Amino acid sequence: MTVMAMSAPGQDVRRHELAAFLRSRRERITPEQVGLPRGRRRRTPGLRREEVAHLSAVGVTWYTWLEQARDIQVSPQVLDALAEALLLDPTERSHLFALAGATDPHPEAPCSVVTPTLRRLLDQLEPVPAAIQNSRYDFLAHNRTFGQLFCDLDALPREDRNSLWLAFTNEEFRASVTDLPEVMRALAGKLRAAMAEHLAEPAWKELVRRLEEASPEFRELWARHEVVAPGGRVKMIRNARVGLLGFEHTNLWLGPNAGTHLVTYVPVDDATQAGVARLLDLVVRERQGQAEGALAIA
């Protein structure tokens, strides 16, 4: 009985601290930072609760209760989504999970390398599709054009936002790649070369295990032990919404080693330039409609 009496007030304090932390992080972010329209009658500093709920794919009522310090359960997966939506840095992310009393499912989360400056750079490159990848070819962040170039990246779980996983298992992504056999062979070889420095790391071994389990094509290519150096080239992509697009694919390394890098897809002709501009316009219109719909429901 004594333990329960002591723990309940502590839990209540933690819930209120979590609620205050979430509100403070929400209020510091502008709609433009997360690709949402500002609108004419915005009075709330930063994002609205409805917008955070939309970005995190959680219910508006549930998120409101969370900010009201209600006694509700919060899963690590939801906390992960909130950390991404609120653009938390590594320290803030750790604080979020500590306040919620939960274990971080991604302790080496993308926000550890994707700084606010890099996120602004991605946005400013639009409509040129751009993303940030690590040496394991996970997509850590991307701008709106890149998010719809091959498939809807934002609709995928974090663990599926990986070039190899998409190339070997995602049908929408595979349909967009005009030279899929060559791309699959190159990706398998690049991963093999990059993995030489990470052979004992669980995340790398888990990616290979998932790919071998899911794709006979990957198993066959992986068994060849081919290695391919990272590099750029011209890519033709068949986008489901705006048609065939041609790009010069380039990498800009963000550190001294061939690890985290900025990926850009620069249009090779006027038709592609116009195509990516149309694609960005479609994405902006859709997000504006979704945001207005969320506000109407609330």
Q: pLDDT tens-digit profile of 212-233?
A: 999 999 999 999 999 988 777 7
Per-residue pLDDT, 89 = 79
Q: What is the mean pLDDT of residues 118-147?
A: 93
**Between residues 97 and 222, which one has the greater pLDDT?**
222
Q: What is the mean pLDDT of residues 149-161?
A: 91
Per-residue pLDDT, 5 = 34
Domains and CATH numbers, the chain: 10-31+45-100 (1.10.260.40), 116-296 (3.30.450.180)
Helix axes 2-27, 90-100, angle to 10 degrees: 150
Per-residue pLDDT, 74 = 84
**Between residues 237 and 98, which one has the greater pLDDT?**
237
Per-residue pLDDT, 4 = 29
Grade residue 192 by pLDDT with cuts at 50, 70 and 90. Answer: very high
Per-residue pLDDT, 292 = 67
pLDDT at 48 over 60: yes
Q: What is the mean pLDDT of residues 288-296?
A: 68
pLDDT at 265 over 80: yes
Q: Which of 51-65, 112-126, 211-225, 275-289 has the highest mean pLDDT?
A: 211-225
